[in-house]
Amino acid sequence: MSGQALSAELTIDRGGFRLRIDLEAPAGVTALLGPNGSGKSTALLGLAGLHPLTSGHVRVGGTTWADTRGAGPLRRGLAPEARSVGMVLAEPMLFPHLSLLDNVAFGPRSRGMRRAPARERARSELDRVGLGDLRGRRPSQVSSGQAQRAALARALATDPALLLLDEPLSALDPQTRSRTRADLAARLRDYPGVTVVTTHDPLDALTLADQLVFVEDGRVAQVGSPGEVVARPRTAYVASLVGLNLLAGVLETGEPPVLRLEGGEPLVLAEPPAGARRGDRVWATVNPEAVSLFTGRPDTSARNLWPLEVESVTVTGQRARVHLGGVLPLVAEVTLGAVAALGITRGRQLWAAVKATEIHAYPA
């Protein structure tokens, strides 16, 4: 399966919702990310042939599975069983009355392989996901993470050209999720086909994927490698997912340069972004850890200072993310000690400061 690639143009209507995305994915792992209802799962259904295309095409490794501009069976699309697809859902969907071995062997058996070689192939796949010693157990006798790895082994036992994973870790508890994520990443590194995984968890995406595709309201909002996306998010959703504040404005000349934000507030930069000129639209990101908070107007060297109001506080471990509103939306990350010392609660008036050197700006 070396040299596989996915090329798809998907327009899919489901009730009052329309998905319209172009998807180019090389061999390796592509993650589809987006909020609930953005169209991620709908895209997978279209690729698998489980939902018809309104228009568009699906091609994998040079073979066409659907093309609404063609004629004959391809116009409606090949049936799911005629496509070289493996699929894993959030729930493993294993047969409860079969052992893990026979669950995994079911895949190649359904494709016409005889019982003995199918079971041999199942043993090999279970070994590769670390479940060889548990092959005689039934799904009820293994953990949720082990069951999900067995579902992955079943999908891969058919040698699919395209592997589709729909929120494969979402049903697992945090500890099991972390362990299963590492096992999944290791197994996918050895899979030579194209993997498309849907998730709304940035850690899943950054750990598993070579390419990130963000889908919002049925459209592609941004595409890039994990490094590219973290360095230059281009929508508020993308920025929030990678943990950054994203501000947009128009560049003004001067020393120091100023970005006039959409609400009219000035944002002082340390230097103008490369490639941007006066009047150009510019994005600026701020790490929440770079936002300093004060109960009163501070005497500070920071060139950016705003009076804001606490809208909400989210605690994770020993740190808290403070969501602020007012002349501009901003998120600050502080210690729990700072939350107590500053008396941070919803409705609290605070001053937020950001140094110009802590702002990363780039052309929109």
Mean pLDDT calculated for residue range 82-97: 93
Residue 2: is its pLDDT beyond 50? Answer: no
Mean pLDDT calculated for residue range 108-114: 91
Tokens 């700006």 sit on residue:
361
* pLDDT tens profile 345-360: 999 999 999 999 999 9
Domains and CATH numbers, the chain: 5-232 (3.40.50.300), 243-363 (2.40.50.100)
Q: How far is CA 205 from CA 30, 163, 193, 212, in A?
A: 8, 16, 18, 7
Name the packing angle between helices 174-189 and 144-156 (round to 10°): 20
Portion of the chain with pLDDT greater than 90, in percent? 84
Cα separation, 319 vs 328, in Å, equals 23
* pLDDT tens profile 219-258: 999 999 999 999 999 999 999 999 999 999 999 977 889 9
| Per-residue confidence (pLDDT) for residue 71, from 0 to 100 | 76
| Per-residue confidence (pLDDT) for residue 1, from 0 to 100 | 41
Residue 181: is its pLDDT beyond 70? Answer: yes
Residue 296: is its pLDDT beyond 90? Answer: yes
| Per-residue confidence (pLDDT) for residue 3, from 0 to 100 | 55
C-alpha closest to that of 41 among 138, 205, 164:
164
Q: List strand residue ranges (DSSP E) for the chain, in order.
A: 5-14, 17-26, 28-33, 55-60, 63-67, 85-88, 162-166, 194-199, 211-216, 219-224, 245-252, 258-261, 266-268, 281-286, 292-294, 304-316, 319-326, 330-335, 349-354, 359-363
Cα separation, 311 vs 332, in Å, equals 12
Residue 202: is its pLDDT beyond 80? Answer: yes
Q: The pTM is what?
A: 0.88
